[in-house]
Amino acid sequence: MSATMAALNLPRVIGHRGAADAAPENTLESFAEAKRQGAAWVEFDAKLTADNAVILLHDDTVDRTSNGRGPAAQKSLADLKALDAGAWFGPSWAGARIPTLAETMSELARLDLGCNIEIKPCPGRDRETARGIVAELRRIWGGNLPAGDGQGGRLPLISSFAYESLLETREIAPDLPLGLLLEDDPADWRQRAERIGAVSIHCWDQKLTAGWAHDIKAAGYGLLVYTVNDVDLARRLFGWGVDAVFTDAPARLLAGLG
């Protein structure tokens, strides 16, 4: 594990979009639930609104996770803040809102949670979204990215499937630790990781093999796997040298792993 990866002090279990099995994903309520379940870190998705605010949302549209309709990239922050982002998950979550990155970082500091920010750009906004997220982090931190610790005492790990977003982040914020998100096993994964100076590779549990895991670790990268909700699978992955897993159910994995 590289010195930068070690400095992150990643836990073995990271809450996926908070605690997505138990609360509406990518909401402040989901992060509080992840903390209640014992998580020390959470992962979430960040993208830009039509007026370039940074908000948390996984999909390109708001249809699945709110009472709204249409592409997020065509809606202002005010439009998105008017939506209910909790009732779709269950009546007890009605009134939850789509949070901004600033609101999220403040809440994570209050909860003492570390985070993995996944850059999730809307189509055609890969570099623009990276610039917006870095600018917002700088604003939150008073103008400069910290050399080690961020708000709440932890520097976020930045990851993305959007390679252009990672290239842009590396260019404008060279001190931010980057994770390369992969779905398949591309032949050039090492070259891609080297080009962005990645500290970690994030793999899909359906595609990772023991051999590939060995190669990633032998190359000096941290290895994170998504999305693992089964304790036996988590045990097998840790046996392969995996450093951390993302899960929708932190309490289940933490209890099962002991």
Is 202 catalytic? The answer is no
Whether 151 has a pLDDT exceeding 90, the answer reads no
Whether 239 has a pLDDT exceeding 60, the answer reads yes
Q: How many domains does the chain have?
A: 1
* Cα dihedral 134, 137, 142, 147 sign: negative
At 11-62, the pLDDT tens digits run 999 999 999 999 999 999 999 999 999 999 999 999 999 999 999 999 999 9
Whether 153 has a pLDDT exceeding 60, the answer reads no
Spatial contact of 15 and 43, defined as CB atoms under 8 Å apart: yes
- Domain span at residue 174? 3-257
Of 20, 45, 74, 37, the residue nearest 250 (C-alpha): 37
Label the pairing between strands 244-247 and 178-181.
unpaired
CATH number at residue 11: 3.20.20.190
Average pLDDT score, the chain = 94
Spatial contact of 71 and 47, defined as CB atoms under 8 Å apart: no
At 179-225, the pLDDT tens digits run 999 999 999 999 999 999 999 999 999 999 999 999 999 999 999 99
DSSP E strands in the chain: the ranges are: 13-16, 41-48, 54-56, 114-119, 157-160, 178-181, 200-204, 222-226, 244-247
The arithmetic mean of pLDDT across residues 165-184, rounded, is: 96
CB atoms within 10 A of CB 241: 13
Query: What pLDDT score was predicted for residue 141?
Result: 86
pTM: 0.95
Label the pairing between strands 54-56 and 41-48.
antiparallel
Query: What pLDDT score was predicted for residue 148?
Result: 45
CB atoms within 10 A of CB 226: 23
Split at pLDDT 50, 70, 90, the class of 6 is confident
CB atoms within 10 A of CB 236: 14
> What is the share, in percent, of the chain residues with pLDDT greater than 70?
94
Q: What angle do CA 215, 166, 39 make, to 5 degrees?
A: 70
- Can you list the alpha helix ranges (DSSP code H) found in 39-76? none
Q: Of residues 36, 50, 52, 58, which has the active-site annotation?
A: 58
Please tell me the least confidently modeled range out of 67-71, 120-124, 143-147. 143-147
Whether 146 has a pLDDT exceeding 60, the answer reads no
Query: What pLDDT score was predicted for residue 145?
Result: 59
Query: What pLDDT score was predicted for residue 144?
Result: 63
- The two tokens of residue 104 are 């999220």
Query: What pLDDT score was predicted for residue 3?
Result: 52
Q: Of residues 5, 16, 134, 203, which has the active-site annotation?
A: 16
Q: Which amino acid is at 35?
A: K
Whether 251 has a pLDDT exceeding 70, the answer reads yes
